[in-house]
């Protein structure tokens, strides 16, 4: 059946609805011509958290979801959350979070086509729901589908030859709704489609569901849905977290993606004035099999565009497809942090869909309720139309989509180079769209450190194949011990492995601007030693890794004092855990903590817990005793999350809180990076800060807000020079300083980079003297001004003592950015311990 005939059949069956829209169109305002890329705060616009989120779940507080091994339906009676009259969805005429479980329970009761289950929990502990819609299957039929899905990934050559698989494999389509909490209608439009499929009685729908499985994560962000915030309950933008997996919501949908292996997926967002449907502009991720993607992404987008336009509203006449309509860099798909871009590495044709009519932020409070509800109704129709059109496209093109996913995994196993895509491969494809990389033959990760274990566990969790060598071996002239981790790049998801482990690329000269971050290398920023083998694979007996081997150890002889070097965030967690147990610790220098021999048992416990290594303390003059620092922090949500994850006790502060009388009594160090301006303090707030500084309180700052605080409070005589606000990426650095510099990585991360000039302070870290930008996008603000050439050799982090005798450290880098650069955490912690002494 061709696309037009299938659309007609689905329309007849009620799978696509074209509403009467004359009245609403007559009264509708003209759609906005202003594009709002992302419609939300980016990293340096995130407000400081005045209070910590409550009931925050740690990574270890949730269990990983795996699908059951039974037929369909797999129905579970979902527990009902408490009714919340303050849910921000209600005002818009949309379903509140507490209404979703009853709705899904009712659909399960009414239809054997619907299965619902809890697949994880939000940062504040709320259930995340997965709804599956398909024709009933026996356990044997479902098991056969599972075997075929595994065959597609594990043996794509065999899958390509399997004629029964080609005939009977059900087309998996995944819809992710409401990942940004104040972009609501993805949930409501998806529920409308689920209900229609569940209750339709026509033969076309029944036949369609015998060929298809529709998976819907109904709301990916219940915390934000209820509160009307873009971020989750921990203050994170989940749609920036997929390469890092710091948040439970991103981990949950990752697990759904791995278990379902969709051929097509949609991530439903809002609001851009006109409907926006990806594919995106260049730069395109250089690790994609982009030919396999764009051959379907563009025609599917065109089908969604037609479906949206058929709705007949004035506000749905215009649809933007960035690949077709935008300039390079306006809406790119370069980083693997977004849900659709991440899904592409798992074989999906991924689309971000931005519905048109704004109902959040200022509009939510300023517009009449009737107008908000009118807009939300149209937005819901747009979601419905894009999902329905995608289901139609996936059903019509299932053979080609399936062949493309099989081919992606075949190329990975074979180590085949990505083909050169010719101009005109699809309408509009040209030289500006051509991005590719050269895959190495293997990566090698020496074992034995918490950073190596952390990186390996992340790779395995993301379905990257990792093996462990059973004996020592030599590769490229270097000897490796037994237990070394091997990432053979002849594997199905080599693109995902490479996008995490390669350095990346300086794309500053290729596009004028970028939508979000441009560099993120796990190899360079996560602290693990990783070697690249360009052409040779290790020849050694090995076994697959399901979890990294534990790294915790105490090597000191009994009766000897123990030493722990603060080189990783795990070391910081261990120190704070010992301080919480009232162990008397001392420091020798900024990077070494000494544990008395009498606390060996406690040291062994935290070594096992955090994977750290305690060695024999060197004979040296007695170190300075220290206690756990009390911190006050005016920081963004991601920084607060990391500080607490490292085990620090943190009191959030801000200009408003200090002006309102919040005290700093008992605080050792004040951290300033967001939400605190010294010049905007009133008499009360200024007196509090001045008294804290006069008493010798330490200060650690980050970014432009921190640099401005340093200048206004006259802390260190350092003048901050600012790079372009959107400049970001991985940089090369030198580390001459005794505090932050001690033992730090040769790479760091910047976003809106700073550097410091002047005298009267210690340079802890400098940008490399030549070519400091390793990967990312950093253009000068004007020719020869504030670019990487001007930053080269300049101080990126400085420390010193103020006139009042307090200690201060100023960061021009981003060591805690979105909980990502985990290898940089220890340098920030050393600054906190040093300034608190």
Q: Which residues are known to be catalytic?
A: 354
- The DSSP-derived string for 210-277 is HHEEEEEES-S-HHHHHHT-SS-TTS--GGG-TTT--SHHHHHHHHHHHHH--SEEEEEEE--SSEEE
The token duo for 373 is: 């509800």
Which of 518, 491, 494 lies closest to 507, judged by CA? 518
CA distance 198 to 108: 9
In three-state secondary structure terms, 175 is: strand
Q: If DSSP states are collapsed to H, E and C, what string results for 18-79?
A: CCCCHHHHHHCCCCCCCCCCCCCCCHHHCCECCCCCCCCCCHHHCCCCCCCCCCECCCCCCC
Structure tokens at 466: 């990792």
Q: How many C-beta atoms surround the C-beta of residue 233 within 10 A? A: 27
**Please, are residues 473 and 494 in contact by the beta-carbon 8 Å criterion?**
no
Question: What DSSP state is assigned to residue 597?
Answer: G
Neighbour-count burial of 199, counting CB atoms closer than 10 A to its CB (0-12 exposed, 13-18 middle, 19+ buried): middle
For 41-54, give one letter per residue: b (16+ CB within 10 A) or e. ebbbebebbeeebe
Bridge partners (DSSP) of residue 117 are 130
Task: Tell me how far apart the alpha carbons of residues 240 and 251 are, in angstroms, rounded to a whole number.
Answer: 12
Question: What token pair was written down for 495?
Answer: 């693109």
> Which tokens hold the place of 752?
């809106």
> Residue 559 gets which letter from DSSP?
T
Interacting residues of 678 by C-beta distance below 8 A, sequence separation 6+: 686, 689, 708, 709, 712, 713
Query: What letters, b where the CB count within 10 A reaches 16 and e where it falls short, cover 734-772?
Result: bbebebbbbbbbebbbbbbbbbbeeeebbbbbbbbeeeb
In angstroms, what CA-CA distances link 48 with 15, 533, 634, 679?
45, 43, 6, 17
What is Dmax (Cα atoms) for the chain?
Answer: 85
Q: Which residue has the tokens 């059109």?
A: 389
Find, among 19, 30, 25, the residue nearest to 273 by Cα: 30
CA–CA separation, 673 vs 612, rounded Å? 29
Provide φ and ψ at 319, rounded to 5°.
Answer: -130, 130
Measured in degrees and rounded to the nearest 5, phi and psi for residue 185 equal -70, -10
Residue 362: count of CB within 10 angstroms of its CB: 8
Give how far Cα 263 sits from Cα of 9, 339, 399, 404, 494, Å.
22, 14, 10, 9, 18
Find all residues with CB under 8 Å of 735, minimum gap 6, and list them. 741, 742, 743, 744, 746, 764, 765
* H or E stretch at 754: strand 754-757
Nearest Cα residue to 820 out of 456, 530, 523, 494: 523
CA–CA dist 349, 342 (Å, integer): 10
- Give the sheet arrangement for strand 212-217, strand by strand: 114-121, 127-133, 212-217, 171-177, 264-270, 349-355, 275-277, 319-320
* Cα gap 614→553, rounded to integer Å: 6
**Residue written as tokens 């007559």?**
26
Helices vs. strands in the chain: H and E counts, helices first: 27, 35
């Amino acid at each position: 059946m061709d696309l037009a005939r299938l659309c007609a059949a689905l329309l007849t069956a009620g799978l696509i609805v074209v509403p009467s829209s004359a009245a609403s169109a007559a009264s509708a305002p003209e759609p906005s011509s202003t594009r709002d890329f992302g419609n939300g705060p980016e990293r340096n616009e995130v407000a400081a958290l005045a209070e910590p989120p409550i009931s925050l779940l740690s990574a270890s507080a949730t269990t990983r979801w795996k699908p059951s091994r039974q037929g369909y339906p797999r129905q579970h009676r979902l527990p009902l959350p408490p009714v919340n009259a303050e849910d921000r969805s209600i005002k818009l005429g949309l379903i509140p979070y507490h209404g979703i479980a009853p709705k899904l329970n009712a659909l399960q009761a009414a239809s054997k086509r619907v299965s619902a289950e809890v697949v994880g929990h939000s940062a504040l502990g709320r259930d995340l729901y997965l709804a599956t819609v398909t024709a009933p299957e026996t356990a044997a039929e479902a098991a056969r589908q599972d075997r075929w899905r595994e065959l597609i990934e594990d043996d794509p050559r065999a899958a390509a030859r399997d004629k029964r698989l080609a005939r009977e494999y059900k087309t998996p389509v995944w819809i992710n709704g409401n990942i940004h909490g104040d972009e609501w209608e993805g949930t409501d439009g998806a529920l409308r489609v689920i209900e229609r499929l569940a209750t339709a009685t026509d033969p076309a729908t029944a036949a369609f569901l015998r060929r298809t499985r529709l998976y819907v994560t109904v709301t990916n962000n219940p915390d934000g849905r209820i509160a009307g915030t873009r971020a989750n309950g921990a203050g994170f933008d989940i749609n920036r977290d997929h390469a890092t997996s710091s948040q439970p919501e991103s981990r949950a949908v990752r697990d759904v993606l791995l278990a379902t292996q969709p051929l097509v997926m949609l991530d439903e967002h809002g609001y851009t004035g006109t409907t926006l449907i990806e594919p995106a502009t260049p730069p395109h991720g250089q690790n994609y099999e982009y030919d396999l993607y764009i051959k379907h992404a563009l025609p599917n987008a065109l089908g969604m565009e037609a479906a949206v336009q058929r709705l007949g509203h004035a506000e749905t006449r215009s649809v933007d497809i960035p690949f077709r309509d935008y300039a390079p860099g306006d809406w790119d798909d370069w980083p693997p942090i977004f849900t659709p871009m991440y899904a592409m590495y798992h074989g999906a044709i991924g689309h971000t869909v931005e519905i048109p009519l704004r109902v959040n932020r200022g509009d939510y409070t300023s517009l009449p309720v009737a107008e908000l509800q009118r807009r939300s109704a149209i937005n819901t129709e747009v979601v419905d139309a894009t999902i329905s059109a995608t289901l139609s496209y996936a059903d019509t093109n299932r053979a080609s989509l399936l062949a493309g996913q099989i081919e992606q995994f075949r190329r990975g196993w074979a180590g085949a180079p990505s083909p050169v895509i010719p101009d005109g491969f699809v309408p509009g494809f040209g030289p500006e769209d051509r991005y590719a990389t050269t895959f190495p033959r293997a990566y090698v990760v020496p074992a034995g450190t918490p950073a190596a274990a952390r990186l390996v566990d992340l790779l395995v969790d993301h379905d990257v194949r990792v093996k462990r060598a059973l004996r020592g071996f030599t590769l490229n002239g270097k000897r490796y011990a037994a237990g070394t981790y091997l990432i053979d790049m002849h594997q199905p998801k080599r693109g995902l492995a490479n996008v995490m482990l390669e350095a990346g690329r300086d794309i500053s000269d290729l596009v004028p601007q970028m939508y979000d971050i441009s560099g993120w290398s796990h190899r360079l920023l996560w602290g693990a030693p990783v070697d690249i083998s360009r052409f040779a694979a290790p020849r050694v007996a090995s076994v697959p890794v399901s979890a990294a081997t534990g790294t915790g150890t105490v090597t000191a002889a009994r009766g000897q004092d123990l030493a722990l070097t603060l080189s990783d965030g795990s070391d910081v967690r261990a120190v704070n855990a010992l301080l919480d147990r009232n162990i008397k610790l001392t420091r020798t220098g900024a990077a070494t903590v000494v544990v008395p021999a009498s606390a060996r048992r406690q040291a062994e416990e935290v070594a096992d817990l955090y994977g750290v290594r305690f060695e024999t303390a060197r004979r040296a003059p007695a170190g300075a005793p220290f206690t756990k620092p009390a911190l006050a922090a005016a920081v963004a949500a991601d920084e607060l999350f990391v500080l607490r994850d490292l085990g620090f006790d943190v009191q959030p502060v801000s200009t408003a809180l200090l002006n309102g009388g919040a005290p700093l009594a008992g605080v050792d160090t004040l951290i300033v990076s967001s939400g605190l301006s010294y010049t905007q303090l009133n008499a009360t707030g200024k007196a509090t800060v001045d008294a804290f500084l006069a008493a010798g309180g330490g200060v650690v700052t980050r970014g432009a807000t921190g640099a401005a605080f340093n200048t206004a409070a006259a802390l260190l005589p350092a003048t901050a020079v600012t790079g372009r606000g959107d400049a970001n990426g991985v940089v090369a650095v030198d580390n001459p300083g005794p505090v932050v510099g001690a033992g730090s990585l040769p790479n760091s991360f910047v976003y809106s980079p700073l550097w410091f000039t002047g005298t009267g302070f210690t340079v802890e870290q400098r940008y490399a003297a030549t070519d400091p930008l390793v990967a990312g996008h950093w253009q000068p603000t004007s020719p020869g001004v504030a670019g990487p050439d001007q930053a080269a050799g300049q101080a990126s982090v400085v420390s010193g003592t103020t006139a009042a005798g307090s200690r201060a450290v100023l960061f021009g880098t981003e060591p805690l950015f979105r909980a990502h650069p985990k290898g940089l955490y220890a340098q920030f912690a050393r600054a906190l311990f040093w300034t608190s002494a």
